[in-house]
Amino acid sequence: MTNNLTEFDAKAAESGSAATERFRESGKTATVEVPKERVSLLANEVLGAVYDAIRKHKVTYDEFNALKAWLINVGEDGEWPLFMDVWVEHVVEEVSTEDREGNKGTIEGPYYIPGAPEFDTPATLPMREDEGGTPLLFQGQIRGVDGTPLAGAKVEIWHADDNGFYSQFAPGLPEWNLRGTVAADAEGNFALNTVQPAPYQIPTDGACGKLIAAAGWHAWRPAHLHLKVSAPGHQLLTAQLYFDGDQHLSDDIASAVKPELVLSPTERGNGAGNEVTYDFVLDAVRA
Ligand code: MBD
Ligand code: FE
């Protein structure tokens, strides 16, 4: 390991392995016990859909072997978290939150890390002295469905930098760069200073990138802020916020954009960057 790598030296297999490691540590698999009737039902349906596609399109042995080789590469590159979150998570998110009355959320993605530094509002996210990108003041209020301001609310935020890289998933970045948890005030108001992220291109040099190239797709996600908004007695909201005018709002490779999640920041003047207000409405925990 050399010490002078920069984020531009990021390798798909390294960010993939880091995401795989993080997922294993997340505790998300610790309590999973899917009943065998359900495993059998879902496995049969998914395999059935594969058989249908093979018959319909008369899949050849060359194609079958290309798929087999590619699946092996996805695992070798540690890109199963990336694959699942880019191409599958959005539908799970859709069905698991369909009865929410409050804010719409969207997918978490592979780059969340719990335990980021905590701050009281108004906060400035950890960033380098010369952090690139347009400064952004992001503020708002967290309320219940009935409009009550929520005391004890928190906004956890993580996002890519102005070059599209996430700390802890690319070399050379400070550990918690552009990651933090902000405690709102007693009325649920929060304000935080950060920089606007750049559009994000999923790694092109790994197995997922190979699929994208082989299919003639593009690898872009629109620029986005990731958030987890919480308050006592309320359901955790996992969301992303996007930026008006981004060229990839309508063709996000991860299909995770919703119209209510698009911000329209305005200039603060005097070179102070942009500001935007966005309020969150959280559903109560169901009894
Ligand atoms: C990301 O930054 C992301 O948010 C998703 C969903 C997938 C890959 C990279
Ligand atoms: Fe992301």
What pLDDT digit, counting tens, does each position of 78-94 carry?
999 999 999 999 999 99
Assess whether pLDDT exceeds 60 at residue 1.
Answer: no
How far does the centroid of ligand 2 lie from the alpha carbon of residue 207, in Å?
18
Task: Say what percent of the chain tops pLDDT 70.
Answer: 98
Q: Are strands 135-144 and 280-282 parallel, antiparallel or unpaired?
A: parallel
Q: What was the pLDDT predicted at 228? A: 98
Q: What was the pLDDT predicted at 37? A: 96
> Which atom of ligand 1 has the smallest separation from the CA of 89?
6
Q: What was the pLDDT predicted at 29? A: 78
Segment 113-155, tens digit of pLDDT = 999 999 999 999 999 999 999 999 999 999 999 999 999 999 9
Amino acid making up residue 38: R
Distance of alpha carbon 156 from alpha carbon 228, whole angstroms: 5
Mean pLDDT of the chain: 96
Q: Model's pTM, two decimal places?
A: 0.95
| CB of 206 closer than 6 angstroms to any ligand 1 atom | no
Ligand showing the shortest atom-to-Cα distance for residue 157: 2
Segment 35-78, tens digit of pLDDT = 999 999 999 999 999 999 999 999 999 999 999 999 999 999 99
Q: What was the pLDDT predicted at 287? A: 77
**Residue with more model confidence, 132 or 4:** 132
Assess whether pLDDT exceeds 60 at residue 211.
Answer: yes
Assess whether pLDDT exceeds 70 at residue 2.
Answer: no
Please state the rounded mean pLDDT for residues 104-118: 97
Which domains does the chain show, CATH number per domain? Answer: 1-287 (2.60.130.10)
How far does the centroid of ligand 1 lie from the alpha carbon of residue 76, in Å?
19
